[in-house]
Amino acid sequence: MSQYDFDLFTLGAGSGGVAASRRAGSYGARVAICEDSRVGGTCVIRGCVPKKLLVYGAQFSESFSDAVGFGWSDATPSFDWGALVSAKDREVDRLNAIYLRLLRDSGVTLIEGRGRVLDAHTVEVAGRRYTAANILVATGSSPILPPVKGIEHAITSNEALSLPSPPQRVVIVGGGYIAVEFAGIFNALGAKVTLLLRGESILRGFDQDICTFLTSELRKKGVEIRCETFVQDIERRADTLNVMTRAGEELRADVVLYATGRAPNTKAIGLEACGVSLSDNGAIVVDADSRTAVPSIYAVGDCTDRVNLTPVAIREGRAVAESLFNNNPTRVDHRNVASAVFSQPPVGTVGLTEAEARARHGAIDVYVTNFRAMKHSLSGRDERTLMKLVVSRADGRVLGFHMVGADAPEIIQGLSVAIQCGVTKAQLDATVAIHPTAAEEFVTLRDRRPDPEPHA
């Protein structure tokens, strides 16, 4: 019998923690998991899932007007924000119950409360101590609110998912995933949305063509995007929020949403005191096996700030369980992870951006197409689609697929398999298209973009 209460003690029942604990339980390990909020974590409870349900809800507004071009009468349906939020909440409750059942069915002991690591093999939750051969930290991340005067009047994505009423005027600070996704939701539901960027571009780090194109599509839909705009302070006056910019402009809003990044949840849980190293931004430093500086303590997911996406946290968690409890040493390959932004229109991307490819591979070929999807020939909607292929000139291997347009995330998921298999441009060319689709463009691209002029 082991000297410890458990073989694995996991802090945090989000995507990574639950995946690791269930997998470990399935191999007969004695597993406990603690959680101080609802089981499911950011993705299920206050992130990806509820956000995407709101995106679906918001998209109907365009569908109703598109339908007129196809012969449907021009009705003006009414919208009930409360009904959408309640339906979304019911779905989150259902998923939360499924997560609880899955943990139970895997024999994992759920302990309610915030865990604190006391030493390499001890965790304390709600005043009780538990020992474990291995500890897994999977505590996720939380929104960052910068120190701005009046920031207490602002909300984060946590609150934006459940506002009591639909806002008419929304100021969003930031230009990352969350900012553009909520800009799409509120804009489609009829709000006046203003996005304030401290830099010059939304979605920094994405391919430049994607950023420029999505900016133009968002502006066409009515989202106001202001670059190099900094908030001086936020003030509440009666039922209006006044956002004063450093340039002296005053913006009025019902809601001010800050989407200025997330920070790892690693404070006050005993990590540094027991020898776990943290980086400057508070992320847990781990090796390729997700092991921290303390050999019996592992960490996965957003709290390690590697690739902060749910499917990556799940893989990292399962890899730890496979390595520890199935005699199957497993590492996660963080290259070529596809991702999507559920903006309107959405973005899908996998592999290198054009700039990254040039820096790493030198000579590359770039293929870009930009077209109006067939549906909009009748709907009349002024929305375009962008597709881009980045190819190594040396061996013809595809280095990156990028897309903005309807179904981009669904299309890029398939192409991420191809890139994982080392697909070449010649193999794309040899693939017969499905017609008429947007996706077929990826196998029919012929016109190479001219190389950029070399710098003087």
What Cα–Cα distance (Å) separates residue 237 from each residue in 143, 164, 186, 253, 380? 25, 19, 22, 10, 41
- What span, in angstroms and rounded, lies between the C-alpha atoms of 321 and 352? 30
Beta-sheet pairing, 224-226 with 192-196: parallel
Q: Which stretch, 66-74, 257-265, 353-361, 438-446, contacts ligand NDP (CB under 6 A)?
A: 257-265
Could you say which of 107, 190, 261, 414 contacts ligand NDP (CB under 6 A)?
261
Interaction pattern, residues 272-311, with ligand NDP; x per rule: CB under 6 A: ------------------------------------xx--
Q: Which stretch, 100-108, 178-186, 369-377, 448-456, contacts ligand NDP (CB under 6 A)?
A: 178-186
Could you say which residues in the range 16-55 bind ligand NDP, by CB under 6 A? none
What Cα–Cα distance (Å) separates residue 236 from each residue in 151, 194, 256, 370? 11, 18, 11, 44
Alpha helices (runs of H) in 310-452, residue ranges in sequence order = 310-325, 354-361, 375-379, 408-420, 425-429
Could you say which of 166, 176, 301, 405 contacts ligand NDP (CB under 6 A)?
176
Q: Which stretch, 32-40, 80-88, 198-206, 422-430, contacts ligand NDP (CB under 6 A)?
A: 198-206
Write down the least CB distance from residue 181 to ligand NDP, Å.
6
CB closer to ligand NDP out of 187 and 339: 339
Beta bridge pairs of residue 115: 125
Is residue 170 close enough to count as binding ligand NDP by CB under 6 A? Answer: no
Q: Please name which of 16, 103, 8 lies closest in space to residue 303, comparing C-alpha atoms.
A: 16
State residue 191 phi and psi, 5-degree precision: -80, 155
Could you say which residues in the range 374-393 bind ligand NDP, by CB under 6 A? none
Write down the least CB distance from residue 174 to ligand NDP, Å.
3
CB closer to ligand NDP out of 84 and 408: 408
Q: Which stretch, 170-178, 368-376, 426-434, 445-453, contacts ligand NDP (CB under 6 A)?
A: 170-178
Could you say which of 10, 15, 260, 416 contacts ligand NDP (CB under 6 A)?
260
- HEC letters along 227-252: CCCCEEEEEEECCEEEEEECCCCEEE
Burial group, residue 386, by CB count within 10 angstroms (0-12, 13-18, 19+): buried
CB closer to ligand NDP out of 309 and 412: 309
The distance from CA 60 to its chain's CA centroid, rounded to whole angstroms, is 22
Q: Which stretch, 56-64, 80-88, 258-266, 362-370, contacts ligand NDP (CB under 6 A)?
A: 258-266
DSSP 366-389: EEEEEE--THHHHH-----EEEEE
Running DSSP on this structure, what letter comes out for residue 211?
A: H
Beta bridge pairs of residue 282: none
Could you say which of 16, 57, 115, 174 contacts ligand NDP (CB under 6 A)?
174
Is residue 167 close enough to count as binding ligand NDP by CB under 6 A? Answer: no
Could you say which of 108, 178, 188, 283 contacts ligand NDP (CB under 6 A)?
178
What does the block give as tokens for 15?
Answer: 């995507």
Q: Binding-site residue total for ligand NDP (CB under 6 A)?
A: 22
CB contact at 8 A, 89 and 131: no
455 is catalytic: no
Interaction pattern, residues 203-222, with ligand NDP; x per rule: CB under 6 A: -x------------------
Could you say which residues in the range 309-368 bind ligand NDP, by CB under 6 A? 309, 339-342
Q: Please name which of 105, 99, 98 lies closest in space to residue 12, comparing C-alpha atoms.
A: 99
Q: Residue 295: which residues within 8 A CB-CB, separation 6 or more? A: 120
CB closer to ligand NDP out of 156 and 392: 156
- Classify each residue of 304-315 as buried b or exposed e, where b means 16 or more C-beta atoms within 10 Å of its C-beta: bbbbbbbebbbb
CB closer to ligand NDP out of 118 and 151: 151
Is residue 183 close enough to count as binding ligand NDP by CB under 6 A? Answer: no
Residues that bind ligand NDP in the complex, under the rule CB under 6 A: 146, 173-179, 181, 198-199, 204, 259-262, 308-309, 339-342
Catalytic machinery residues: 435
